[in-house]
Amino acid sequence: MRGLFGNAPVPAHAAWPVAHPVAGSLLWCAVLLAVFVPLAVRQYGHGER
């Protein structure tokens, strides 16, 4: 049952996001925000003209 919920041991040769899932998730959130927030702000600014 623990294996179904992701509590299985992580292999030594696992990729970084697999070995550090919380840090990987937070990093991806930061990357997505860094890309899309400026695009959204820019798009919103074009609508006011």
Give the pLDDT of residue 45: 86
Tell the burial category of 9 from Cβ atoms under 10 Å away from its Cβ (0-12, 13-18, 19+): exposed
Cα distances (angstroms) measured from residue 31 to each of 6, 18, 27, 43: 24, 17, 6, 19
Is the pTM for the entire model greater than 0.85? no
- The encoded tokens of residue 11 equal 């292999």
Tell the burial category of 20 from Cβ atoms under 10 Å away from its Cβ (0-12, 13-18, 19+): middle
Residue found under tokens 């959130």: 29
Give the pLDDT of residue 30: 98
Give the pLDDT of residue 46: 82
Low-confidence ranges of the chain (pLDDT < 50): none
